[in-house]
Amino acid sequence: AQTVTQSQPEMSVQEAETVTLSCTYDTSESDYYLFWYKQPPSRQMILVIRQEAYKQQNATENRFSVNFQKAAKSFSLKISDSQLGDAAMYFCAYRSAVNGGSQGNLIFGKGTKLSVKP
Amino acid sequence: ETGVTQTPRHLVMGMTNKKSLKCEQHLGHNAMYWYKQSAKKPLELMFVYSLEERVENNSVPSRFSPECPNSSHLFLHLHTLQPEDSALYLCASSQDWWGNYGYTFGSGTRLTVV
């Protein structure tokens, strides 16, 4: 069974600085999707970034980028120029690309709480 | 608004009560999901509906009963719950049947069972 591990329960960053959140996963599959979700105090989970495992290029969305290391099964999120609005819980998630398998089974890590200091 | 709306936002119920959680999406998505989020635990998938047909039930106790009357609405009927069922219940939808492009989540219902 696949697992997702976020080893940092809490992180803190100074406004305008850069922070990296860690995520590792365990799978025997070669094709899958990885996601980072943000959950602010409003509780709504917001998709931050998505990576397809067969793509070598790291995904980027504005100030958010990932460092995808497939061999190491690592998927870290880098937030550049941190803003106060980035303060939230961040969840890493894995989804098998084998359609016909466990549909909808996004496997989440336990999350990292990010604080942004002014 | 997010596109996925959940009501109520908060719910307190006794163990003998019957209540329902409601979720609706007007995004034209084809699949809807119920997740349970408990403190210090990963999100747990409860139910998946694809084109109004339930396709997965992750060994959820029968005191939770889902209903999907159409592609825009999803309910979670609750009865004789236990205190350990207290959690944040999140509804989500996805454009494709498999959710490979990510999900759109609602803001959840914070459920407290007393």
Which residues on adjacent β-strands are paired with residue B109?
Answer: B89
Q: Measured between CA atoms, how close is A70 to chain B, in angstroms? A: 18
* Coil, strand or helix at B86: coil
Q: Measured between CA atoms, how close is A16 to chain B, in angstroms? A: 27
Determine phi and psi for A108, rounding to 5 degrees: -105, 150
A5 touches chain B (CB under 8 A): no
All residues of chain A having their beta carbon less than 8 Å from the beta carbon of residue B45 are 104-106
A98 touches chain B (CB under 8 A): no
The whole-number pLDDT of residue B54 equals 73
Written as tens digits, the pLDDT of chain A (118 aa) is 789 999 999 999 999 999 999 999 999 988 899 999 999 998 999 999 999 999 889 999 999 999 999 999 999 999 999 999 999 999 999 998 876 555 567 899 999 999 999 9
What does the H/E/C string look like for chain A?
CCEEECCCCEEEEECCCCEEECCEEECCCCCEEEEEEEECCCCCCEEEEEEECCCCCCCEECCEEEEEECCCCEEEEEECCCCHHHCEEEEEEEEECCCCCCCCCCEECCCEEEEEEC
The whole-number pLDDT of residue B35 equals 94
Residue A74 near residue A94, CB atoms below 8 Å: no
Residues of B in CB contact (< 8 Å) with A are 2, 31, 33, 40-43, 45, 48, 50, 55-56, 88, 90, 92, 94, 97-108, 110
The whole-number pLDDT of residue B97 equals 75
The whole-number pLDDT of residue A100 equals 55
Q: pLDDT, tens digit, for every residue of B25-70?
A: 989 998 999 999 998 788 999 998 887 677 667 689 999 999 999 8
**Residues with Cβ within 8 Å of residue B97, at least 6 apart in sequence:** A99, A103, B30, B31, B50, B51
